[in-house]
Structure 1
Amino acid sequence: MSGALELRLGPIAHGGHTVARHEGRVIFVRHGIPGELVRARLTESEEGKRFWRADVVEVLEPSPARRPHFWGPADAPAAYAAGTLPVGGAEFGHIELAEQRRLKGAVVREQLSRLAHLELEVDVEAVPVGGPGTEGADDDGLHWRTRCSFAVDASGHLAMHAHRSEATVPVSDMPLAVPPIGQLGLWDADLTGVARVEVAAPAAGTAPLVVLTLSEDVPSARLRELLDAIDGEASVSVVDPTGGAPLTLRGRGSVAEEAGGFHYTVTGEGFWQIHRRAPETLMGAVLDAVRPVLGDGGSAADLYAGAGLFTAPLASIVGDSGSVLSVEGSPGTSRDARRTFKRQRQVDVVQGRVERVLRQRAGEQFDAVVLDPPRAGAGREAVRQLVAAAPRGLAYVACDPASFARDLGWFREAGWTLEWLRAFDLYPHTHHVETVGLLRPGR
């Protein structure tokens, strides 16, 4: 890491950066706000690259939207002044929440314009952590994460990685996490022999799950010490250094989740939305999209279904005489869904790549489709197959505005329309934003 430049920061860009220019070269700068004058340290500056990357190390002219960062390890200027690197998360923690949402809306709008050739105003909706009835209440954007992942440093203590780096930064708290995660006793534990720690603390208040990925073969006496260091109410599993399925040492190897009155089982390998109110928020938006085209006896597909968050309400709508195809690529997460829906004969849980499953079932008709792909998006082949299937309505749930806009562009080329789009701030103090859109095929 070398070089420090004085830069005037330009517009926000996808990925949490602002765009600056220096002697004709584009530099993507983290930890700044558009319009600020800063001193930035280059983190990637290879001569052959089309653009460079940098971190703000000093703010010379702050934006009116700048605020003190709520978390020391993620405060870039403070970290560099102390001779360390900032952690990779909470990269918007120095920006007022209202401005964070305005910037996220600008990113979604720019991606839709550039990749889908669609001009659309986007307002990012706040999602209060406190639950229904707290709308309008003060919200600091903290204590929403029900899932956290940590590295373990050479001293055996919790750490997190710096952005795009193998370097780790020790952490002694995590203000974005729900309180039960902070109460597990992990901050002070000696985790020698552990490479990674994953924690899930369900929003419903059921027992948390801690999954320890070991860095070496650990004798049974050491495993007992690790168990003793973690709050006794928590379930604990370990993953062998060579990989494989987690081995449950205490409690259960899964957590119980609830959303919209539906109940789910999610193992340590399984996927679940990390904001405590994300499941119900996204479920509500998805049902607003598909209910008009789906009723008792109808057919639906839940693609990239995870543990079945949307499969459950879809199955409730179509009833015993309808059908729901639930497709998930991850074997562990698909097993979670299979356990959840084993008594619902109208639900067909299939593990495999969405493109392959759609190819095998070409010609099958769906009234409604829910599409919730990973960050890379659905891709051209899946879009092509969905265009051919021509459901009456498709709810697209997206965690990445660029891949969503790209896929939307392909749907629009095929004559589809975007009826409406909602954006939710489910990841406060980060650059991430979640969107739900209703797409309909052309006539």
Structure 2
Amino acid sequence: MTDRAPGVAVGDEVEVVVGAVAHGGHCVARYEGQVVFVRHALPGELVRARVTELGGGSRFVRADAVEVLTASPDRTTPPCPWSGPGRCGGCDLQHVARPRQRELKADVVREQLARLAGLEVAVVVEPVTGDADGLGWRTRVEYAVDASGRAGLRRHRSHEVVRIDHCRIASEGVAGLDVTRREWPGSEAVDAVAPATGAPVAVPVGPRGSVPEDVPDVVERVEASWAGADGGGRLARDFGVAARGFWQVHPGAAATFVGAVMAGLDVRPGERALDLYSGVGLFSAALGEAVGPAGQVVAVEADRDATEHAERNLADLPWVLPVRARVDDAFGVPRRTSRGRRPHRGRRPVRSPMMPTRADVVVLDPPRTGAGPDVVREVAALGPRAVAYVACDPAALARDTRTLTEAGYRLASLRAFDAFPMTHHVECVAHLVPS
């Protein structure tokens, strides 16, 4: 990467008219024909933007709006003093009024589905209960620790640690741990967790992810209900989770997503369900209670710790089978590299005998990179009557939706949720059925 693109260099300031919002927490502008991805701006504004980075072989530049010359009516004063150009990189949208935040996220989801899946879909981003002002909701925060042993949050696209007083989107339980006011010698990070049940926990993370041996598990309570053609259902259950394990960071997210997934599946007693990327068993529990003893749920998860927790969390549902395996390995498809390419060498993949050859319903909750075309085609080959796809990245959702539509499915419904207020992130729950 060089420090100069045609016409501009890092540190230059240029005046641009800001265009549409784009995936990733910025808006698109142009300067002398060159694409400029501008953070801390809003569509329609005239801003002075400082170039922070050159990317894509100088085909585009990244920049921060350091001065607003003509403001959008949707602009507001950020509630956090650490939000803004050159500061904490955690919140992208604190300068945007809350209703407009959700509209921008809807625009991104709509654009990704149109561009990558060829689908024109009406999108409304729904709020999640528990964050009236968008602050104080995050129940899991990973702080970075600098060389002096003090904790803070990282600058955008940087390893540099910004020392803050406290995070404005952190929950009361996380804030009460006073992570940024304590010293953490020898640590590289600190995970702060405020579970639904029990006391908050601060876990120091050493080199190579090492943690103390006495880190306790935490308990998350989920109470969800849903309506459907089958009359609907309800889930009320505690889930044991490793303090550093995966769990939704918004206190209302887990129940919201369970309700959305189950409402669109209409799971029936005696059916066979497949829960992919199943974690500690959140969706598996709802599926297991719905199919009952005459049915079956196969839950596939790669993480050993999460699978062990799932076995304990679902012990009262013996017809739910947690399987520890990568999903692509379980299907017997070749692993792909981080860039989505198949490796040239490696052992011939073998399908797990635990994987069913057919399923009535399938739930996917993959990581940000998505499930990928090989896994998605295997899902379609099972012939499910309904597929629920939970996605934290709209681009990955759009790519995998396209693969499913090519395999004979259609998008029946899509709901989007503002589970990460003040940031550009958005969670989607899509339901697909045979065409």
Give the Å deviation of 1:92: 0.2
Counterpart among 198, 221, 225 of residue 206 in structure 1:
198
- Counterpart residue identity of residue 314, structure 1: L
- What is the rounded CA distance, in whole Å, between the counterparts of 1:414 and 1:47 in structure 2? 33
- Counterpart residue identity of residue 404, structure 1: L
| Residue 59 to residue 257, structure 1, CA distance change in 2 (3 Å) | same
Secondary structure at the counterpart of residue 270 of structure 1: coil
* 1:183-222 correspondence runs (5 A): 183-202=176-195, 204-214=196-206
Residue 400 of structure 2 is aligned to residue 391 of structure 1: no
- What is the rounded CA distance, in whole Å, between the counterparts of 1:181 and 1:242 in structure 2? 24
* 1:265-344 correspondence runs (5 A): 265-291=240-266, 294-344=267-317
Matched-pair contact (CA < 8 Å) for 1:209–1:254 = no
Give the Å deviation of 1:321: 2.0
Q: Equivalent residue for 2:106?
A: 105
Residue 29 of structure 2 is aligned to residue 24 of structure 1: no
Matched-pair contact (CA < 8 Å) for 2:127–2:418 = yes
- Counterpart residue identity of residue 399, structure 1: C
- What is the rounded CA distance, in whole Å, between the counterparts of 2:404 and 2:212 in structure 1? 44
Q: Equivalent residue for 1:228?
A: none
- Counterpart residue identity of residue 60, structure 1: L
Secondary structure at the counterpart of residue 288 of structure 2: helix
Give the Å deviation of 1:190: 1.8
Residue 45 of structure 2 is aligned to residue 36 of structure 1: yes
Matched-pair contact (CA < 8 Å) for 1:269–1:333 = no
Q: Deviations over 1:338-362 (max 9, x none)?
A: 2212343211111111122133256
| Residue 340 to residue 47, structure 1, CA distance change in 2 (3 Å) | closer
Secondary structure at the counterpart of residue 181 of structure 2: coil
Query: Where does structure 2 lack aligned partners over 5 or more consecutive residues?
Result: 1-9, 224-235, 333-350
Task: Give the TM-score normalised by structure 2.
Answer: 0.87
- What is the rounded CA distance, in whole Å, between the counterparts of 2:308 and 2:46 in structure 1? 51
Q: Deviations over 1:306-343 (max 9, x none)?
A: 11110111111111221111111222222221221234
Q: Equivalent residue for 1:400?
A: 393
* 1:355-374 correspondence runs (5 A): 355-359=328-332, 360=351, 361=353, 364-374=357-367
Q: Deviations over 1:197-241 (max 9, x none)?
A: 001111x24222221012xxxxxxxxxxxxxxxxxxxxxxxxxx3
Counterpart among 188, 204, 212 of residue 247 in structure 1:
212
Q: Equivalent residue for 1:14?
A: 23
| Residue 282 to residue 343, structure 1, CA distance change in 2 (3 Å) | same
Matched-pair contact (CA < 8 Å) for 1:355–1:385 = no
Task: Give the TM-score normalised by structure 1.
Answer: 0.86
Matched-pair contact (CA < 8 Å) for 1:129–1:143 = no
Q: Equivalent residue for 2:4?
A: none
- What is the rounded CA distance, in whole Å, between the counterparts of 2:418 and 2:164 in structure 1? 25
Matched-pair contact (CA < 8 Å) for 2:75–2:97 = yes
Q: Equivalent residue for 2:237?
A: 262
- Counterpart residue identity of residue 304, structure 1: Y
- What is the rounded CA distance, in whole Å, between the counterparts of 2:79 and 2:147 in structure 1? 26
89-98 vs 179-188, greater mean Cα deviation: 179-188
- What is the rounded CA distance, in whole Å, between the counterparts of 1:270 and 1:47 in structure 2? 34
Secondary structure at the counterpart of residue 45 of structure 1: strand
Q: Equivalent residue for 2:95?
A: 94
- What is the rounded CA distance, in whole Å, between the counterparts of 1:298 and 1:58 in structure 2? 58
Matched-pair contact (CA < 8 Å) for 1:270–1:336 = no
Secondary structure at the counterpart of residue 420 of structure 1: strand
- Counterpart residue identity of residue 431, structure 1: H
- Counterpart residue identity of residue 301, structure 1: L
- What is the rounded CA distance, in whole Å, between the counterparts of 2:274 and 2:374 in structure 1? 17
- What is the rounded CA distance, in whole Å, between the counterparts of 1:177 and 1:129 in structure 2? 13
Give the Å deviation of 1:243: 4.1
Give the Å deviation of 1:187: 2.7
- What is the rounded CA distance, in whole Å, between the counterparts of 1:209 and 1:254 in structure 2? 9
- What is the rounded CA distance, in whole Å, between the counterparts of 2:152 and 2:325 in structure 1? 34
Matched-pair contact (CA < 8 Å) for 1:303–1:327 = yes
| Residue 47 to residue 303, structure 1, CA distance change in 2 (3 Å) | closer
- What is the rounded CA distance, in whole Å, between the counterparts of 1:94 and 1:111 in structure 2? 24
Matched-pair contact (CA < 8 Å) for 1:39–1:60 = yes
Give the Å deviation of 1:47: 8.5
Q: Equivalent residue for 1:163?
A: 156
Give the Å deviation of 1:289: 1.4
- What is the rounded CA distance, in whole Å, between the counterparts of 2:133 and 2:244 in structure 1? 30
Percent of pairs identical after alignment? 44
Secondary structure at the counterpart of residue 369 of structure 1: strand
Secondary structure at the counterpart of residue 337 of structure 1: helix
- What is the rounded CA distance, in whole Å, between the counterparts of 1:111 and 1:47 in structure 2? 20
Matched-pair contact (CA < 8 Å) for 2:191–2:244 = no
- What is the rounded CA distance, in whole Å, between the counterparts of 2:17 and 2:44 in structure 1? 6
- What is the rounded CA distance, in whole Å, between the counterparts of 1:396 and 1:92 in structure 2? 26
- What is the rounded CA distance, in whole Å, between the counterparts of 1:300 and 1:128 in structure 2? 28
| Residue 353 to residue 35, structure 1, CA distance change in 2 (3 Å) | same
Residue 420 of structure 2 is aligned to residue 427 of structure 1: yes
Secondary structure at the counterpart of residue 106 of structure 1: helix
Q: Deviations over 1:162-187 (max 9, x none)?
A: 11111111111111111011111323
Q: Equivalent residue for 1:226?
A: none
- What is the rounded CA distance, in whole Å, between the counterparts of 2:253 and 2:209 in structure 1? 30
Matched-pair contact (CA < 8 Å) for 1:314–1:324 = yes
Secondary structure at the counterpart of residue 198 of structure 1: strand
Give the Å deviation of 1:8: 0.8
- Counterpart residue identity of residue 384, structure 2: P
- Counterpart residue identity of residue 115, structure 2: R
Secondary structure at the counterpart of residue 73 of structure 1: coil
Matched-pair contact (CA < 8 Å) for 2:311–2:322 = yes
